[in-house]
C-alpha cells in the first residue's frame, strides 16, 4: 500500500496551530503578552556570549583597557539588526532559515551552507564543553566528571522535554550572566571613564589590536544565532500577530547580550590591564582576578563561564539540527518525540556525544579547535547575511513585512563592513601561516 505523504507546509501549519491553542495568554496586551512571547531572541543573543566570546571580551579588556569599549555599541546595532530580521522572517513565514534558503536558492547553496555550519558548530560545541570543564576545574571539579554530567543533562533536557520547558530552563541558565555584572561592580571601575570610552572611538593600527577588533565583531555576530532564533520562533508557533512583541524580544536579546559583554570587558580592564596581566582564555582571566579583586570575583567569573558554556553547548547542537533538518525536509522540533523526528534528535545526540568525547581526549589543542571554528564562521557569516537580506526583501515570502529602505541601507552597509573585516582576518591568518608576520 502506498503511503500518503502530507505536505510539509500542511504539517507546519498543523504544528503551529497545535502550539498556539494552549497559549491564549499570548494575545493579552502589555507586559503579560511580552512575557508570553519572550525567549527566542533573548536566548539566541545570550548564546553568543559563549566560551569563545567571553575569552575574546576578557582579552579585549586585559590588553586594551577601556580604549575599545566603543566597539560594543557598534556591534550591538549589528546584532539587533540581524536578530530582528531573523525573528521577523520566522514569524511571517513560519519557516526556519535553512528551509527558506533551500526553497529560494536551491540545494547546492544549501548543501554548502550546511556543511560549513556543521563543521563550524561542531568545533564550537567542543569549545563549549571545554569551557564548562575549565570553569569547574577552577573549583577543583575534574573534567572527566563535568563533561559527562553536562552532556547527559542537556541531552535529556531536549529529548524528553517540550519546547516550553526547554525555553524556561534556557532563560533560567541565562540568569548566571548577572555574575559578570556583579563582578564588574565589585571591581570598582570609574563609571565616568567607562561612559566616555563607550562614545569616544579610538582606532589603533597595530596588527594585534586590529585583529582583536575583528574578533570582537566576529564573536558578537555569528550564524548559529540567526538559525536558532528563526527556527525557534517558528517552532514556538509565533506568527504575524505577535511580530511586534517578538521584534522587541530580539532587540532586547541583542542589547542585553552586549551589555553583558561590556561588563566582561570592564572587569578585566579594571583588574588586569593596569597590571599588564596577559590572558589567552576566560579561565585564565578568572584565575588572574583572584589576587587582584579577590576570590569572590574569581568565583563569579567562573560561574558565568560555566553557565554560558552550558547554554551554548545546548543551543549550538539544536541550531545545527534545526538547520540541517529544515534544509533537507526532515521533521524537526524540540516538542517532537524521538520517533517523530529521528534525524533531528539523532543529529542533536551525535553532536553532543562527539563534542563531549573529543574534549576528554588527552592533548587536544583547544586553541586550534577554536581558531578553526572562528575561520569557518567567518566564511559562513557573509554568505548567510546575503541570503537573509535577499529573503527578507522577497515579497512572495514576507509580503508587506519586507525591509524598509533605510533598514536595507543600514543592513547592506553592515554586511559590507563584516565582509571587509572577514577579509582582514583571513589575510592576517594567511600571512601568519606563510611566516610573513
Asked, for residue 8, whether it belongs to a domain, the answer is no
- In this structure, are residues 348 and 158 in contact, taking their beta carbons and an 8 Å threshold? yes
- In this structure, are residues 351 and 320 in contact, taking their beta carbons and an 8 Å threshold? yes
Least confident of 10-14, 16-20, 334-338: 16-20
pTM above 0.95, yes or no: no
Which domain CATH number covers 51?
A: 1.20.1740.10
pLDDT reported for residue 13: 46
Greater pLDDT, 111 or 423: 111
Least confident of 30-44, 46-60, 179-193, 272-286: 30-44
Q: What percent of the chain has pLDDT over 70?
A: 81
pLDDT band at 6 (very low <50, low <70, confident <90, very high): very low
Least confident of 308-312, 373-377, 421-425: 373-377
Least confident of 6-15, 43-52, 248-257, 291-300: 6-15
Q: How many domains does the chain have?
A: 1
Is the pLDDT at 163 greater than 80? The verdict is no
Asked, for residue 10, whether it belongs to a domain, the answer is no
Residue range(s) defining the domain that contains residue 210: 25-433
Alpha carbon of residue 40 to chain centroid? 11
Asked, for residue 213, whether it belongs to a domain, the answer is yes
- In this structure, are residues 116 and 320 in contact, taking their beta carbons and an 8 Å threshold? no
Q: Residue 312: which residues within 8 A CB-CB, separation 6 or more?
A: 47, 49, 50, 51, 124, 128, 131
Asked, for residue 420, whether it belongs to a domain, the answer is yes
Of 82, 98, 81, give the one whose Cα is nearest residue 321.
98
Coil, helix or strand for 48? coil
Asked, for residue 12, whether it belongs to a domain, the answer is no
Residue 193 phi, psi (nearest 5): -65, -35
Note the pLDDT tens digit of each residue in 248-265.
888 888 898 899 899 989
Q: Residue 217: which residues within 8 A CB-CB, separation 6 or more?
A: 71, 74, 75, 78, 418, 421
* Rounded Cα distance, 50 and 45, in Å: 10
Q: What percent of the chain has pLDDT over 90?
A: 12
pLDDT reported for residue 244: 77
C-alpha cell recorded at residue 249: 524580544
Is the pLDDT at 1 greater than 70? The verdict is no
pLDDT reported for residue 350: 92
Asked, for residue 18, whether it belongs to a domain, the answer is no
Asked, for residue 16, whether it belongs to a domain, the answer is no
Greater pLDDT, 434 or 357: 357
- Whole-number average pLDDT of the chain: 78
CA distances from 293 to 16, 199, 259, 306 (A): 50, 27, 21, 20
Asked, for residue 243, whether it belongs to a domain, the answer is yes
pLDDT reported for residue 408: 92
Query: Alpha helix locations (H) across 339-394?
Result: 342-360, 366-392
Amino acid at each position: 500500500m502506498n503511503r500518503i505523504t502530507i505536505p510539509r507546509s500542511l504539517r507546519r501549519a498543523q504544528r503551529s496551530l497545535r502550539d498556539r491553542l494552549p497559549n491564549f495568554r499570548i494575545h493579552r496586551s502589555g507586559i503579560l503578552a511580552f512575557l508570553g512571547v519572550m525567549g527566542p531572541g533573548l536566548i539566541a543573543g545570550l548564546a553568543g556570549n559563549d566560551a569563545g566570546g567571553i575569552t575574546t571580551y576578557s582579552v579585549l579588556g586585559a590588553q586594551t583597557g577601556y580604549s575599545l569599549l566603543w566597539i560594543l555599541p557598534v556591534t550591538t546595532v549589528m546584532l539587533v539588526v540581524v536578530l530582528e530580521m531573523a525573528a521577523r522572517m520566522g514569524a511571517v513565514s513560519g519557516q526556519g532559515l535553512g528551509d527558506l534558503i533551500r526553497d529560494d536558492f536551491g540545494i547546492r547553496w544549501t548543501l554548502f551552507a550546511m556543511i560549513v555550519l556543521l563543521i563550524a558548530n561542531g568545533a564550537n560545541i567542543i569549545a563549549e564543553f571545554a569551557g564548562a570543564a575549565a570553569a569547574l576545574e577552577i573549583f577543583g571539579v575534574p573534567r572527566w566528571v563535568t563533561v559527562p554530567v553536562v552532556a547527559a543533562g542537556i541531552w535529556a533536557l531536549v529529548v524528553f522535554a517540550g519546547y516550553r520547558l526547554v525555553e524556561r530552563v534556557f532563560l533560567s541558565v541565562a540568569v548566571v550572566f548577572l555574575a559578570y555584572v556583579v563582578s564588574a561592580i565589585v571591581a570598582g571601575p570609574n563609571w565616568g571613564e567607562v561612559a566616555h570610552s563607550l562614545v569616544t572611538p579610538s582606532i589603533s593600527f597595530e596588527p594585534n589590536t586590529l585583529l582583536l577588533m575583528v574578533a570582537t565583531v566576529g564573536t558578537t555576530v555569528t550564524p548559529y544565532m540567526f538559525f536558532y532564533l528563526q527556527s525557534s520562533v517558528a517552532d514556538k508557533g509565533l506568527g504575524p500577530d505577535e511580530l511586534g512583541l517578538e521584534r522587541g524580544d530580539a532587540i532586547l536579546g541583542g542589547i542585553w547580550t552586549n551589555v553583558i559583554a561590556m561588563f566582561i570587558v570592564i572587569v578585566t580592564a579594571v583588574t588586569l590591564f593596569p597590571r599588564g596581566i596577559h590572558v589567552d582564555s576566560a579561565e585564565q582571566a578568572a584565575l588572574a582576578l583572584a589576587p587582584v579583586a579577590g576570590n569572590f570575583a574569581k568565583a563569579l567569573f567562573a560561574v558565568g563561564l560555566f553557565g554560558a558554556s552550558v547554554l551554548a553547548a545546548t543551543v549550538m547542537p539544536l541550531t545545527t539540527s534545526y538547520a540541517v533538518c529544515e534544509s533537507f525536509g526532515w521533521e524537526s522540533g524540540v516538542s517532537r518525540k524521538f520517533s517523530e523526528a529521528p534525524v533531528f534528535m539523532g543529529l542533536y545526540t551525535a553532536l553532543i556525544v562527539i563534542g563531549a568525547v573529543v574534549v576528554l581526549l588527552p592533548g587536544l589543542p583547544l586553541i586550534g579547535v577554536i581558531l578553526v571554528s572562528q575561520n569557518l564562521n567567518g566564511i559562513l557569516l557573509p554568505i548567510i547575511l546575503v541570503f537573509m537580506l535577499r529573503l527578507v526583501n522577497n515579497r512572495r515570502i514576507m509580503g508587506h513585512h519586507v525591509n524598509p529602505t533605510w533598514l536595507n541601507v543600514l543592513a547592506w552597509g553592515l554586511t559590507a563592513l563584516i565582509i571587509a573585516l572577514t577579509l582582514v582576518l583571513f589575510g592576517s591568518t594567511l600571512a601568519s601561516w606563510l611566516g610573513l608576520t
